Amino acid sequence: MQTLIDIATSRSNILVPSNMRLISSHGLQVSASKALLGHIVWLDILATASSGCGPFLGINTSYLLQSNTMQIHEVSGCQNWAAEALCEICSLKDWKAQQERQLKLSIIELAARGGAILQPLISGISQLDSTEIVDGPETPLRDPSTWNRDASKHITLAHARAAIIFLHVVVSGPNPHLEEIRRTIPFLVSSLKDLARRRILRSAPWPLCVAACFAVEEERRVLLGSFTKLNDVRNNSEEIPSRACTEAMVIAEKCYTSMEAGDALNWMQVMEKLDKRILLA
């Protein structure tokens, strides 16, 4: 990891491993390292948000995202600011658990830390949601560069809105009736519908799982309908459901069932209960 970071940040006097010397140009080495680093970091972020375990890399991910050493959206579709928010929420979850173990959790401090994460998320969503990307009426969009920006916008919105729900789960627990969660779910469902219409729902299995865990019956039907269309060969879709999307719906169903039974569990707790860790990426 440190070698990748050094190359990606163009630090001098780097001893490049022999298996990377096949890329002779320094510029290509930097580009390849940034792409690989972005993939690994994104998987680490989603592994932590999916299962509650991790992070695993032992690096300062937030610094790399803030410094724009890599552009996560180039490998995942999700922009850096939303990925950074996910990192911060995972860190808040770990801090809360540590404070609880030491019997010194301050609810006031927890709320303050949560608020500091929430406000940039709300601002980022508002700014991105107001961005218009115009092309022809066809879907997918005709111009590849425009299509990429459009896809990144909706993938980012889905992860950012799911991050808001994740944040409230960390701060207040997995309460499906919590006003802040209920207020966000319809917007997240709408984002997922947009992804399904663009045939890129497979880019957001984690937001799909979060939404399905807390959606009410009508919203669940919408999500299930969007997911089911991926299995309909008559739909002539270019996309097939990823295994992660399938697993996301299975986890969400168990989460929803537990809530209906009065035992509110989030997706991470369901995985732990099933003794099954799933990477929703």
* Confidence category of residue 112, pLDDT binned at 50, 70, 90: very high
Q: Answer yes or no: is 15 within a domain.
A: no
pLDDT score for 77: 95
Rounded Cα distance, 81 and 87, in Å: 10
Query: What range defines the domain where residue 190 resides?
Result: 78-274
How many structural domains does the chain have?
1
With a CB cutoff of 8 Å and minimum separation 6, the contacts of 79 are 72, 73, 124, 128, 152, 156
Q: Answer yes or no: is 102 within a domain.
A: yes
pLDDT score for 11: 60
Q: Answer yes or no: is 28 within a domain.
A: no
With a CB cutoff of 8 Å and minimum separation 6, the contacts of 101 are none
Q: Answer yes or no: is 170 within a domain.
A: yes
Q: Answer yes or no: is 64 within a domain.
A: no
- Tell me the Ramachandran region of residue 275: left when phi exceeds 0, alpha when psi lies from -120 to 50, beta otherwise: left
Q: Answer yes or no: is 73 within a domain.
A: no
* Confidence category of residue 7, pLDDT binned at 50, 70, 90: confident
Calculate the dihedral angle through the C-alpha atoms of 72, 77, 79, 80, rounding to the nearest 10 degrees: -20
pLDDT (mean) for 86-110? 97
* pLDDT tens-digit series, residues 59-81: 999 999 998 888 999 999 999 99
* Confidence category of residue 236, pLDDT binned at 50, 70, 90: very low
Q: Answer yes or no: is 30 within a domain.
A: no
| 11-16 long-range Cβ contacts below 8 angstroms, 24+ apart | none
pLDDT reading at 271 higher than 90: yes
pLDDT score for 208: 96
